Structure formats: structure tokens, C-alpha cells
Amino acid sequence: MREAVANLAPVLPVLTDLGERFAAAGHELALVGGPVRDAFLGRTSNDLDLTTSAGPDETERLLTGWGSATWDMGRAFGTIGARRGATVVEVTTYRADAYDGVTRKPVVAFGDSLEEDLVRRDFACNAMALRLPDLAFVDPHGGLGDLEAKVLRTPSPPEVSFDDDPLRMMRAARFVAQLGFVPAPDVLAAMREMAGDIARVSAERVRDELVKLLLAPHPRAGLELLSASGLAAVVLPELPALQLEVDEHHRHKDVYEHSMTVLEQAIDLEGPADGPPESVPGPDLVLRLAALLHDVGKPATRRFEDGGGVSFHHHEVVGAKLASKRLKALRVDKETTKAVARLVELHLRFHGYGEGQWTDSAVRRYVTDAGDLLPRLHRLTRADCTTRNVRKARRLSEAYDDLERRIERLTAEEELKAVRPELDGNQIAEALGIRPGPVLGRAYQHLLAVRLDEGPIGPDAARERLLSWWAEQPESQG
């Protein structure tokens, strides 16, 4: 307890002040949930969640006298927020929620006691509180013991808890990834039984939990719980689909296990959180999603070949489309979706490099096609090597080392990251006597291809290539 209080030292003056203000007005106030859990775990929590016997109006009055700003976007649920300097608090009236059983939206019912409020929390380790201002510890459901045992239990029977709010099943997987906990047997059984209920939850809420899981220290453990519980079959069906049946001759590796290993290896290749962009500072959502989804096109493209082989032709193209479709369904932002799909599409490109026989033109195209995603593509490609053949792994690593050296040399010589045709749009239009439009766009793309294939050749030579191309176009005959 002393250690937990010591971990709260930076915010204790704020908590004490607020506790005294509410007590003077005849109300109870307690720090609850994540901040209390994190204090016992020795972690720093940026959230100060408090619960009170005061109603929303009285809470707002008390916070107005304490902070420099207040807001009441959560008033319907009893929550009032306030800021004082850099400190932000959210204070919620004791709750005794009921749910409509169709959606996850709660029917708000304010409670009468802290204990009544705690029983409606998601897990026992989040159902601990510190009464303010005296810091009396309240743990009616044995959450502290769960922290020590690293187990997830629900304060009420898990079937009741998950029926009230199915998103709690996703939170269980997230806490497994964040904290290294495991679900209690009855919690896992309830998740398996009720996995289909997650369909009641909005895509946005599911996405938020999935993102937190992926950015956690141990996402593989959380993803494996999603798969084992059946939740992944609803929210991310492409993941369990990777668990292709392994034929008796083991003619292909387990794609699911391979994808999990690639994810872990990609995480190991992330740069420090404060590193430069080219180091891909972690945790990086785009890289982690691309690593997880890079082979989702394999189930749809698997073919058993004569002679016992297995092929997955064009699985990178199919996978890019599937990844994009799934991320859109999860309401992931357009920029992230586009980047992940592009990485999935490009993740096999390196395997045509062989023993370094790519031309400079091919290297230029590799860099240009990857664009700003090149640092992530480097890491995804390296992470995609999961062979146990040490000699093969070393050969692939050395080949990619060689490719990166060539990229660095050509980038230094030609400024590949800013590669453009050697004639701009105005110069192209003037040379061909055309107006802006689709034809000009085609001419621009032709000169860009010349630049990538041949490197810098100078404006005069570029103009000659342009005129030769133009002579073969039907528009030039008019």
C-alpha cells in the first residue's frame, strides 16, 4: 500500500484537495479503476478517474470551483470532466448500470454506494478504489490478489458482465496483451460461449480496443486469446482463416504461426519511441498491422501442385484487397488503411532480388513504389524471414543488406526520394503543344518511367524520348 501511494505521489495533492472539497460538501469521492491498478503495478497512469456520491450537477459545481475549465459531454452518464493546469480529471456519479440487451448502450441508473459501483466494473483488478481524502483502500472483489496472480476475473458472473457489455471480452484480450494476465477459466468459457455477442458493439469501439491491443507490449498473447475465444472469427476473421489445415506431408508452414512470428520480429525491429522517423519508432500501428495481415491472401490463393508442392500465387495482391476491406469495416482511418494495404502488396517484391541481379532501374522502382513506407517495408521484409534453415536465413539477410546499400548509394547519387521526370508538366505541354488533361498525365508517366529505367539523362535527352513516344500516340496524328 505504501508503494502504491508513493506511485501516486505526483497527483496526491490534487486527489487530497478534491477529496476534501467533496467531503466538505457532504459527498464521497474515490479514485477508482485503472489509476489504482496501475499504482499497485508500479505504472504511471495518465488518467484520473474518480467516482462520487454527488450527482452530475453538484459535481460540476464543485469542479468549477476547483479547475480552470469543465466539460459535461458525459453528463447523461453522470460524468463531468475538469482541467487544472496540466491535470485532467473525470468524475462520475456512482453507477448501477442496466443494459438494453440489444446494443451495448447502457440505460443509466445512478447507484447509492461505492461498493455498488465497483461490482459493475469490467474486471476485479479494475474494481479497486481509494477513498479520498483519507486513502482508505476498498477491494471487495479481491482485485489485489488477482494482480499478484496475474489473472482476469469479473466482479459479477462473467456471463452477466459480458451480457451487460460485450466489449469487455475485447478488453480481456487487451489486458492480456498489455499486462501479461490470463483469463480465469470461467471467463474464457464465457468468452467462447458469448463471442457472437461482440457483433452488438460498434465497429469503432471494437477498433479502439484492437488498436490498443496491437500497440501493447505483447500483442501476440492478446491475438491468440481472440482466436481461441472465437472473437477473432467475428471481428477479424482473416486471422483464424490463416490456421490452414496442415497436410500430412507438411508441404507448407503454418501460416497462422508464421504471421504471429513475423509480427513479433517486426516489433523487435521497431526503433525507440523517441527515434527518428526512418527508424520506425515503436509501437508502430502500420507496421504491426502489415506484419499481422501480410499473408491474409494465402487461404484464398492456396493451390496444391503436381509433385506435392503448394503455391499461393498473387496472394500479396489478394491480401492487399482483403486487408483494405477489413480495415475499412473496422473504421480504421484512410491513411493507415492505405499504408497497410500497400505494404501487404509490396511485401514479396524483394524475393525477386535473388543474388543481387536487380538492375538500378529495378532498385529505383522499389524505392519509388514504397515511397514514405520504405523504412517499414525494410522491416516487414526482414521480419518475414522465419525459416529455421540458418544458411538460408543468413543468405536472405545478406541479400537485403546488399539491397539497402544499393538504395543508399542510388539515393545519394540521384535523390531517389524526390525522383521526378526531367521535364515538368509545363515543359511537357509546351513540347507537345497540348493542354492539361489525361494525355498530359500519360506523357508525364512515360517520362517518369524513363527516369526510373535510365536514371538522369538530362532535359534534352528526356525531350527526345518524349517526342519519340508522342509520335506513336494516336492523339499526335490529329
**Residue ranges per structural domain of the chain:** 1-149, 269-418, 425-477
- Among residues 80, 17, 85, 76, the alpha carbon closest in space to that of 52 is found at 80
Parallel, antiparallel, or unpaired for β 106-107 and 49-52? Answer: unpaired
pTM metric for this prediction: 0.82
322, 340 Cβ separation under 8 angstroms = no
pLDDT of residue 449: 86
* 3 state SS of 49: strand
User: Looking up cell 509545363, which residue turns up?
Assistant: 426
Q: Which three cell numbers stand for residue 404?
A: 539497402
Separation between Cα atoms, residue 87 and residue 84, nearest integer Å:
5
Q: 31 pairs with which residues across the strands?
A: 50, 130
pLDDT of residue 360: 85
317, 298 Cβ separation under 8 angstroms = no
Query: In which order are the strands placed within the sheet that holds 129-132?
Result: 69-71, 79-84, 87-93, 49-52, 29-32, 129-132, 136-138
248: burial class by Cβ within 10 Å (0-12, 13-18, 19+)?
Answer: exposed
Separation between Cα atoms, residue 33 and residue 24, nearest integer Å:
24
- Among residues 387, 477, 375, the alpha carbon closest in space to that of 432 is found at 477
In Å, how far are 226, 253, 275, 287, 313 from 242, measured between CA atoms?
Answer: 14, 11, 33, 19, 16
**For residue range 8-41, what is the model confidence (pLDDT) as tens digits?**
888 999 999 999 999 999 999 999 999 999 999 9
Out of 4-8, 194-198, 352-356, least confident range: 352-356
Q: Write the DSSP symbol of residue 52.
A: E
**For residue range 317-354, what is the model confidence (pLDDT) as tens digits?**
999 999 999 999 999 999 999 999 999 999 999 987 76
Average pLDDT over residues 399-424: 82
**In this structure, what is the dihedral angle of CA atoms 253, 226, 271, 45, given to the nearest 10 degrees?**
-160
Ramachandran sector of residue 215 (left: φ over 0; alpha: ψ -120 to 50; beta: rest): alpha
138: burial class by Cβ within 10 Å (0-12, 13-18, 19+)?
Answer: middle
Q: 99 pairs with which residues across the strands?
A: 106
Domain 1-149 - what CATH class? alpha beta
Q: What type of residue sits at position 209?
A: E
Across 47-51, 52-56, 103-107, 245-249, the highest mean pLDDT is recorded for 52-56
- Residue 158 in this model has a pLDDT that exceeds 60: yes
pLDDT of residue 227: 96
- Residue 312 in this model has a pLDDT that exceeds 60: yes
pLDDT of residue 247: 45
Higher pLDDT, 44 or 49: 49
* 3 state SS of 466: helix
What single string gives the DSSP state of each residue in 190-245?
HHHHHGGGGGGS-HHHHHHHHHHHHTSS-HHHHHHHHHHHTSHHHH-TTTGGG-PP
User: Looking up cell 525459416, which residue turns up?
Assistant: 387
72: burial class by Cβ within 10 Å (0-12, 13-18, 19+)?
Answer: middle
Q: Which helix (H) or strand (E) holds 308?
A: none
67, 81 Cβ separation under 8 angstroms = no
pLDDT of residue 306: 75
Q: Which helix (H) or strand (E) holds 6?
A: helix 2-7
Other beta carbons within 10 angstroms of residue 62's beta carbon come to 23
- Among residues 99, 161, 154, the alpha carbon closest in space to that of 127 is found at 154
Separation between Cα atoms, residue 71 and residue 63, nearest integer Å:
10
